[in-house]
Amino acid sequence: MALLLALCLPAWAQKQYKVDKPSGKLYLHLNGARIEGYAGNEIVFSNQGAPEEEDERAKGLQALSSSGFTDNTGLGISVTKKGGDIEVNPVGNSSRGDVMYIRVPNTVGIVFNNNKSIFADTLLIQDMKGELEVSSSYNAIILENNSGPMNIKNVYKNVDATFANDIKGPISIISVYGHVDVAMPTSTKANLSMGTGYGKLYAAGDFDVAIMPRTERDERVGVSVTEEDGVTINMTETLAATLDSLPKIVLSTPSSGTGISVAGLFRGEMGENIEGTINGGGVDLILKSTYKNVYLRTD
């Protein structure tokens, strides 16, 4: 609770930049952000970092960045409109301690992508009703009181999510090296898929979870895929494939777009994977971690 309170959005900000609500989505390519949904018609960007010392020598000059983007906000970011969408990119090096706060009309769809920078800040998204899509490598992700649908993928950090009563699917939350911890109302109705390669699965006893029995055709196999020149390609997505999917894997085109793929199969049990329903079924709910535990608790 203390951590979540520390991440709450400020009542004031030193600088602001506003843009009208888009008809499409808000695309964010940032190191991190605190995003709050509200019932308004403007996206408000603000930065509460310490004021940057004014450089007298830079007066009348424009900051340049290897990214090719120009700071048109005074906040160290570029905000541009592309059709009905809005795209946000960082410009130059951000000051230490800078945090980007963004207030967003709560029905806007958000796409957050940060798979390059290891200097990643916490990503907090709260009170959103629009669709969320997050792809991150190093951001710790906290989701509070969002409705969904959402597709959350993280590599090295944890994902912690708390849902209120208004839940819309599908919801997919996956981390490779971090845990996945989700809290939902006991009244939630969902089609549940939980999995971990090397950790454990936990769920609150208050949920009416009905787990479907595993059949022979559900047996899992490990898959190592190589191209014809012997270069191993990304195997994360096929770490625990079902037997039914093997023909598609063996005959698939490599990521390079050339040659053929050869699948090496390691038959046997791969971690814990369950399919079932909560309270008779409802929205699709996928919760998975490759190396850590997955928790499903009541809110």
Per-residue tokens: 148: 């969904």
pLDDT tens-place string over residues 233-244: 333 333 444 444
Q: Among 155, 185, 179, 182, which residue's Cα sits nearest to residue 171?
A: 182
Residue with more model confidence, 249 or 132: 132
Task: Specify the residue for token string 């063996």.
Answer: 250
Distance CA 148, CA 145 (A): 9
- pLDDT for 56 equals 87
**Whether pLDDT at 103 is above 60:** yes
48-57, 113-122, 260-269 — most confident range: 113-122
- pLDDT for 55 equals 81
β-strands 141-144, 123-126 pairing: parallel
- Evaluate if pTM is beyond 0.85: no
Backbone angles phi, psi at 245, to 5 degrees: -90, -5
Q: How many helices (H) and strands (E) does the chain have?
A: 2, 24
pLDDT band at 67; cut points 50, 70, 90: confident
**SS3 label, residue 248:** helix
pLDDT band at 122; cut points 50, 70, 90: very high
20-34, 93-107, 217-231 — most confident range: 20-34
- pLDDT for 97 equals 53
**Whether pLDDT at 228 is above 50:** no
Q: Are 75 and 17 in contact (CB under 8 A)?
A: yes
Distance CA 89, CA 61 (A): 20
Q: Among 16-30, 129-143, 241-255, 283-297, which stretch is predicted with the lowest mean pLDDT? A: 241-255
DSSP notation for 122-182: PEEEES--S-EEEEESS--EEEES----EEEEESSS-EEEE--S---S-EEEEESSS-EEE
**Whether pLDDT at 135 is above 60:** yes
Per-residue tokens: 206: 């208050």
Residue with more model confidence, 242 or 141: 141
pLDDT band at 211; cut points 50, 70, 90: very high
pLDDT band at 270; cut points 50, 70, 90: low
Q: Are 292 and 199 in contact (CB under 8 A)?
A: yes
Handedness of CA 67, 73, 75, 81 (dihedral sign): negative
Distance CA 281, CA 259 (A): 43
Distance CA 188, CA 111 (A): 25
Distance CA 114, CA 298 (A): 30
Average pLDDT of every residue of the chain: 80
**Whether pLDDT at 87 is above 60:** yes
Domain-wise residue ranges, the chain:
7-49+63-209+275-298, 220-267
Interacting residues of 1 by C-beta distance below 8 A, sequence separation 6+: none
- pLDDT for 223 equals 45
pLDDT tens-place string over residues 151-161: 999 999 999 99
Q: Are 159 and 181 in contact (CB under 8 A)?
A: yes
- Helix runs in 11-52, H state only: none
Residue with more model confidence, 160 or 10: 160
Task: Specify the residue for token string 């629009």.
Answer: 130
Residue with more model confidence, 58 or 240: 58
